[in-house]
Amino acid sequence: MKNILLILILLCASTTIYAQNQSQNSLSLDGEWSFIIDSTAQGINKNWHKELPAAATQVKVPHTWNTNDATADYAGLAWYQKKISIPDNWENKTIRIQFEAVYHDATVYVNGQEVGKNLNAGYTPFSFDITDYLKTNQSNTLVVAVDNSYSDKNLPYLKAFDWTNDGGIIRSVALETSGKYTIRYVHVKPELNLRDSTGTVKVEVKLFGKNNKTLNFNFSYKDKQSGKSIATEKIEIEPVNGIYTTNFDLGEISPWHFDAPNLYELETSITAKDEVSDTDLAVFGFKKVEIKGEKLYLNGEAVRLPGIEYMPGSNPKYGIAEPKSYMDSIVRSMKELNVVITRFHWQQDDYMISLMDKYGILVQEELPWWQKPASLTPELVKTAKKQLTDNIESHYNHPSIFSWGISNEINGSTDDTQYRNLRDYVKDLDATRFVTIVSNRIWQKKQDDPMLLGDMATWNEYIGTWHGNDRNELPGKLDTVKRAIGNQPLLITENGLCEPAMTGGDARRIDDMIFHIKEWSSHPWIMGYIYFSLNDYRTQMGEEGFGKYKIRRHGITDISLNRKPSFSVLKQLASPINITKVQRETDTSAAIALEVKASIPSYTLRGYILEYKNSERKLITIELPDLAPGDTYDTILENINPQFQFKVLRPTGFIVAQY
């Protein structure tokens, strides 16, 4: 993330327009672009890479054409164009164009010249140095050719994926400028000492291009919430294998936790000849996630966690090009549900993961390799490694991420080599997080399931729907799974009811939800679950609806996040608190009792508060003591309101229970 100030510069579509909220070294290209579908692939022959034809229409980037009724099912080539003008003070600077994601093939042209391709990687960021292609003091033509054709060279593979095939410039675009030395990434490796809550960091900086020169760096650490400066460091660093490395002791820190999402900032700048060449702002946090025996530990505490998965791109209004405000509503809905863990089948917008950091939700982010192919070709291995590299490099600092997933429900291959190689490849990129291989057949494959090659046992448990004859087989299947995984915990990574493939509606969804969560909770070695899913979702393989409304009805909300009755049921099941007593004591007081669950969920409550309005409508706040799983809390609410209404809130303000 580049340091942002304010200037007014930007060109839109085919005329020069100046935009607001830009910085001296970053210029957003979001907004109006020209756009045209190219179903016959005639663009190159007709020189569209130099200038789009007059038939092009205006769209707003981020954009996908698959939310347009006329092109809802279109998979193929399309073109985008924007006229851009370079600020005078950017002369003699390095200028890069940064795409947060283009699905899934992109070829970029500046003034009719190809500057680069990004192929078979539709959900990860990429950039090109376009300095030598630009003209100063005049308009420049930026053209992007985009292709979302189903492909056997891409992941997701052909039509073997259960989500939308939305094509386009689906995430933000910007120009970024720097001096001679340009930062590619700053990775912060926090180390939390649980004995005294102190923290140290190892910082690794990599530049674009090859550089073996010793450089001067300035590092400034801040508490993100308060903005308070913690430490600064000026240091000269000699690179080792192209990486500039330093270590720093930050002293006593506040760990990151889903109930206390404490964040820190590191601003890094490179100086050359007494001028700043480039800056970077990294947000990070301190946490420790471990598996010991049959338990999952977060910051030294054994926990059992409830979760849910969200399927992006499902609202037909936005498709996969979701605006930031909509992403915020998604994550807030998840927190309102009392869930604290999630997963994504494919790589997400950096802003979405930042929201997980901010609100406090643990994340497993995955390579989009779902069910097929059973074995990766050498070309697909390269695709997988490129996507893993781009994703981990860009999302490395997010404290919410605790695991990288390399596959989901792959069946048919008996060759474990591909899993071992990708697992080890990820470990080389990031040794600080788990690597998982998500399974849905552990109950059949047992000790032969490749899931066991990962760091964490997982199971997409659909006994009674997709698998098995009846849900009452679940206890026996869990016994089989336990024997297969041995002395380690299990995370249920999926369970839910998919309509119209399954019948029964939301009433059955609720009944099944209660049955399965009750059964999982009765096994202490099951460390949590991720229910599937938050929303009915758009998918190119949907059995219901047409065009942009083709969906699977699998959610506790609909495609527009309107809540079904099952939403409230899951919220109660995922709450860490049961209200066990509400009893009138006198005409003006009530006795209440709370019990902290010791099943799923199971974790210590710290900093929680109880609120109610008394008979004069004055807000009364009671700070609860720290409460461990199984603890109870009794109190008298004085001068209670006539309706006996009260609620219990997390330290972050989200309601966990109310009466």
CA distance 574 to 569: 9
Q: What is the DSSP string of 189-222?
A: EEEEETTTTEEEEEEEEEESS-----EEEEEEEE
Q: Which helix (H) or strand (E) holds 483?
A: helix 474-485
User: Counting Cβ atoms within 10 Å, is residue 282 exposed (0-12), middle (13-18) or buried (19+)?
Assistant: buried
Residue 242 is encoded by which pair of tokens? Answer: 């192209």
Q: What is the DSSP string of 47-111?
A: TTTT---TT-EEEEES--GGGSGGGTT--SEEEEEEEEE--GGGTTSEEEEEES--BSEEEEEET
Residue 161 is encoded by which pair of tokens? Answer: 């994926």
Q: Which helix (H) or strand (E) holds 581?
A: strand 577-584
User: Distances from the Cα of 1 to the Cαs of 230, 268, 279, 424, in angstroms?
Assistant: 20, 11, 8, 29
Contact 652, 609 (CB under 8 A): no
Contact 155, 366 (CB under 8 A): no
Which of 494, 499, 519, 595 is an active site residue?
494
Instruction: Kindly give, in sequence order, each residue whose CB lies less than 8 Å from that of residue 431, ignoring residues fewer than 6 positions away.
Output: none
Of the candidates 241, 247, 197, which has an alpha carbon nearest to the alpha carbon of residue 221?
247
| Bridge pairing between strands 264-272 and 215-223 | antiparallel
Contact 320, 170 (CB under 8 A): yes
Of the candidates 565, 475, 477, which has an alpha carbon nearest to the alpha carbon of residue 515?
475
Q: How far apart are the first and last CA of the chain?
A: 44
Q: Note if 494 is an active site residue.
A: yes
Which residue bears the tokens 């096994």? 523
Contact 554, 538 (CB under 8 A): no
Contact 538, 313 (CB under 8 A): yes
Of the candidates 11, 336, 305, which has an alpha carbon nearest to the alpha carbon of residue 142?
11
What's the CA angle centered on 590, arms 584 and 595, to 5 degrees?
110
CA distance 265 to 254: 13
Contact 651, 606 (CB under 8 A): yes
- Annotated catalytic sites, by residue? 494
